[in-house]
Structure formats: structure tokens, C-alpha cells
Chains A and B, each alone.
Chain A
């Protein structure tokens, strides 16, 4: 189940970003998973929930944005939709397809919360 490894790298990216931003907590993680990518979204969600316990992203909601696949059909000379790898061009039936969209696995953005003002060290002269 490579989704566990992917969830682990996702958590590393999320925690690093949150720390760099001075956040205390991650509330939402928004990712893009292409229909032709190497990942099963529900398995990834399961691993994410398991791995985030005790982390900055504990209890965070995972929003998965699914992007459709698209390929360049050589015989047609045009971009065509591709729901799954191994399917033909919907127009000409050819398999001479070069995928150009729908294989991404990306962390798009996160929503974070912080109480940094409370954590700020007192300035000189402050009580």
C-alpha cells in the first residue's frame, strides 16, 4: 500500500509548511489527485487519518480535488479526455495517446490556525 508512503510525504509537506508559517494547527489540507495518477483517493484518506494523529494536522479535514485525465491523440492531432489508462481515443479509437493531464498528486494549499500573538515574547519594557 504505497498510499501510506504518499500520505507520509504529504504530512511532511503539510507540517513543514505550517511550521514555516508559524501555525499551531492545520485545519484543512487541500490536495489534487489526478484520475490517472498512482493513487487511490480513499486509501490515501485512510492513511492520512491514521498518520496525522498527534501531528500538527491532527483532526484536519482532507479535501481531495479530483482532476480528469486528458491526452494528446496523435492520429486526431488534438487533446481528448481520457478516463482511464488503457482506454482508446473517444473519437478515432486509437491508443496512440500521450497523457498530459490527470496524473498529478499535489498538495495545493492548507488552512492553518495560529495563536502566535499569544506566544510572542514580551518586548522590552513590557511586563
Chain B
């Protein structure tokens, strides 16, 4: 309790619950009537935070309210004038058994994507534990993602197990193509959804029986906007851009190019037939993501695949060595715990 004025700032509770200081967010000079719900019929009660004459910052509750005539004013606890007294009478006349709704501010401070990100983190742990290297392939429709996948499965040539999660609004056509190419695939149909989210991938992982040290390729819904926001638990987002599109797409859809770690420029076999400035496309991508890596390929002819496969191999090795580090650390902890047990038993 404040010993000067007797107000109990540390005991400020509304409906029995303490209000965190961060929720007392009323700023001096703000027009309270603007924030008071209009036409709602209830008095507006809020917690104000102020520095008083005795040098302590503390919270004061229940001093502002709207009157029946629509005027709004607040009371300071040290300004007991006639108007306040009248209000006290008005407040006292409110029947205790039927209180009016009491608005208050509750601090939240949570990211809109918090839930997705938590599931993505769990997916990432699941994949790391298995030494899997997972990529989230994103692009606009028709850039050749599925052809790139199918050709990658062939070119990977059994280096490690490979598996695919296919995201499309409808049909299992892509998963069928992948299975024909010899890799297990789970098709996720998003229905009206425009992107994969972490929960969809978690569900798909539970059906995939992923082998250790797998290469996992997740083909997102063809959409250069929405998938950018959603972490699936992948090691990298890989954006596929084809030379039949405009080279300025990185500037038009910067969110996606900023989210990606690798740009695969596909259909380079068509370069002689289209007006596409490769250097400009790369420069544009690096305007939004200065350190983005770039690989030029043709999924149709296999041109550039040596670079692409080498990039994937590096990723697999990194995933395997991360897993080896985790396993080695666990072994050390087990050994330490066992020797501790032996010592206890000997004593």
C-alpha cells in the first residue's frame, strides 16, 4: 500500500486478479472518451499509471467513467471535489448483485504465428533427431517444382533415402508422379487453403515413416505470397523461379525471396527463346535477400543438376553431423550419469 495516499497499487485487482503493470497502458493526455466503448451502456473503468507527488509509480483503478448524459471524466484520487462525490453516490446506487460489465485491458504480446512456429520447432526437432535434411520448395504455379522433384529423385540415385510431402489444393496428381519416380510421398490437400502450415506437415510426417538421414522435399502450394509467412520446420526455404516468368518477380513478391535461402532458377534450356535477364533476376533477388544463394538448372535437360545435387549433399552432411553431435552429447551425458550411479552404489 502507498503510505502517502493509502491507495493500494500493489493490490490492484479486478475481479480478483492482479493486473500486470504492462497492461496498465493508459498514457497521459490521451482522450479517454475515444477509448471508452460508446453506446455500450457500461461505465468505463481502467487502470491508470502515474507518478504521484511522493515519487512512486503506481496503478490506480476505477477512476474514469461515462455518465448517463454521455460525458466522460476521470477522477484523481487526490481531487475529491463535489462532482466526484456525486459520482460516488451514483456508483453506490449500483446494485451489487447486478454489476455492469467492467472493461479492462489485458496485455497479450503474442506473435500471430506463435502456434505455427511452436509446431514448426517440434517438426524441426523431429527432423534433426533423424538427421533428415528438409527443404520447403516454394514458387508460383507452373515454375516446374514437381518436374524438379521428379528429376531430383532420379539424379539423387539412392545416395540417402528420399521422401516427399506434396501440397496442393486438390488432387493427388503430384504425389502420384513422385511415387512413380520411386520415392514415398504424402499428398496434403489444403482444400481452400493457399499454403502449407506446420500442423499439416506434422500430420504428414506422422504418416511418412521417414528413414534416418533422409532428404525430405516439401513441395508447397504454388503461390508466391502466402507460404512465405509459415515456417514448416524445414532447414531452408528454396524458391524456384523459371525463366518463363518475369525477372522482376523478386521485387514484386519480396516476402518470399527474403524468406528463401536458395533461389533455383529453372528452365534455363529455354533462355534462347525468351527475354529473361538472368543477371537482373539475381540482382533483384539480392536486393531483398543480399546473401541468397543461386543455382541455375533445367529440370527438363538436367543442365545444372551437378550444382543442385552437390548443394543437397552438403545439406545432408550438415544434418548428419548435427545429429552425430547430438548423439555424442547424449552418450557423454549417459556415461556421466552412469558413473555417478556407480559412485553412489559404491558408497
Contact pick for A2, options B16, B104, B225, CB 8 Å: B225
Contact pick for A38, options B16, B103, B255, CB 8 Å: B255
- When chains A and B are docked, how far (Å) is the Cα of A25 from the Cα of B194? 31
A117 in contact with B15 given A5-B193, A5-B195, A38-B255 (CB within 8 Å): yes
Nearest A residue (CB) for B98: A118
- When chains A and B are docked, how far (Å) is the Cα of A22 from the Cα of B114? 22
* B109 touching A106, Cβ below 8 Å: yes
* B103 touching A27, Cβ below 8 Å: yes
For B98, the chain A residues whose CB sits under 8 A away are: 118
Contact pick for B112, options A6, A117, A118, CB 8 Å: A6
* B228 touching A95, Cβ below 8 Å: no
Contact pick for A108, options B96, B102, B108, B255, CB 8 Å: B108
Q: Is the interface of A mostly helix, strand, loop or mixed?
A: mixed
**Chain A proximity of B21: nearest CB distance (Å):** 13
From 162 to 186 in chain B, residues with beta carbon under 8 angstroms from any chain A beta carbon are: none
A109 in contact with B193 given A84-B254, A95-B287, A117-B99 (CB within 8 Å): no
Number of A-B contacts (CB under 8 A): 125
0/1 per residue, B113-124, Cβ < 8 Å to A? 111100000000
**Chain B proximity of A72: nearest CB distance (Å):** 11
Contact pick for B195, options A2, A22, A23, A97, CB 8 Å: A2
* A112 touching B106, Cβ below 8 Å: yes
For B115, the chain A residues whose CB sits under 8 A away are: 9, 12-13
For A86, the chain B residues whose CB sits under 8 A away are: 250-251, 254, 284, 287-288
| Chain A interfacial residues counted at CB < 8 A | 45
For A113, the chain B residues whose CB sits under 8 A away are: 42, 101-104
For B250, the chain A residues whose CB sits under 8 A away are: 86
A111 in contact with B104 given A2-B230, A6-B112, A22-B17 (CB within 8 Å): yes
Q: Is the interface of B mostly helix, strand, loop or mixed?
A: mixed
- When chains A and B are docked, how far (Å) is the Cα of A24 from the Cα of B35? 19
* B194 touching A2, Cβ below 8 Å: yes
A105 in contact with B286 given A9-B116, A112-B103 (CB within 8 Å): no
- When chains A and B are docked, how far (Å) is the Cα of A10 from the Cα of B108? 11
Asked if B110 is at the interface of the complex by the 8 Å CB criterion, the answer is yes
0/1 per residue, A11-22, Cβ < 8 Å to B? 011100110011
For A95, the chain B residues whose CB sits under 8 A away are: 286-288, 290
Asked if B111 is at the interface of the complex by the 8 Å CB criterion, the answer is yes
For A51, the chain B residues whose CB sits under 8 A away are: none
- When chains A and B are docked, how far (Å) is the Cα of A117 from the Cα of B108? 23
- When chains A and B are docked, how far (Å) is the Cα of A21 from the Cα of B108? 11
For B197, the chain A residues whose CB sits under 8 A away are: 5
* A106 touching B111, Cβ below 8 Å: yes
A114 in contact with B101 given A2-B226, A18-B106, A86-B287 (CB within 8 Å): yes
For B255, the chain A residues whose CB sits under 8 A away are: 38, 85
Asked if B107 is at the interface of the complex by the 8 Å CB criterion, the answer is yes
Asked if B347 is at the interface of the complex by the 8 Å CB criterion, the answer is no
For A9, the chain B residues whose CB sits under 8 A away are: 112-116
0/1 per residue, B64-105, Cβ < 8 Å to A? 000000000000000000000000000000001111111111
Q: What are 23 of the A-B contact pairs (CB < 8 Å)?
A: A2-B194, A5-B195, A13-B108, A13-B115, A17-B108, A18-B106, A23-B106, A25-B101, A38-B228, A38-B229, A95-B286, A95-B288, A97-B290, A106-B111, A110-B106, A110-B108, A111-B103, A113-B101, A113-B104, A116-B15, A117-B15, A117-B99, A118-B99
- Residues of A whose CB lies within 8 Å of any CB of B are 1-2, 5-6, 9-10, 12-14, 17-18, 21-25, 27-28, 31, 38-39, 74, 84-86, 88, 95-97, 99, 104-118
Which 9 pairs show the lowest CB-CB distances between chains A and B?
A: A85-B254, A2-B226, A38-B229, A113-B101, A105-B112, A95-B287, A107-B108, A86-B254, A113-B103
A10-B112, A109-B23 given. 20 additional CB < 8 A pairs? Answer: A2-B230, A6-B113, A21-B17, A23-B106, A28-B37, A31-B112, A95-B287, A95-B290, A96-B290, A97-B290, A105-B112, A106-B110, A107-B112, A108-B109, A109-B107, A111-B106, A113-B42, A115-B99, A117-B96, A117-B99
